[in-house]
Amino acid sequence: MALFADGCSIRIYSVSTSKNPPSCIENSFGTPVGLHALADKIGAHSPSGTVFRGRKPKKHYTDFDPQEQKANLITSRILRLRGLEVGKNSGPGCDSYDRYIYIHGTNHENRIGQPFSGGCIELCNDNIIELFDQVEPGDLVWITKI
Domains and CATH numbers, the chain: 15-143 (2.40.440.10)
In three-state secondary structure terms, 83 is strand
Instruction: Give residue-wise pLDDT tens across range 47-102.
Output: 999 999 999 999 999 999 999 999 999 999 999 999 999 999 999 999 999 999 99
Nearest in space to 37 (alpha carbons), one of 74, 113, 90: 90
Which positions ≥6 away from 96 have C-beta within 8 Å?
24, 32, 36, 81, 82, 83, 89, 90
Helix (H), strand (E) at residue 10: strand 8-12
At residue 145, the pLDDT reads 81
- DSSP letter (8 states) at residue 62: G
Q: What size, in residues, is the chain?
A: 146
Report pTM: 0.95
Report, in angstroms and rounded to the nearest whole number, the Rg of the chain calculated over CA atoms. 14
The Cβ-side half-sphere exposure at 3, using a 13 Å CA radius, reads 17
At residue 146, the pLDDT reads 66
Partners of residue 85 on adjacent β-strands: none
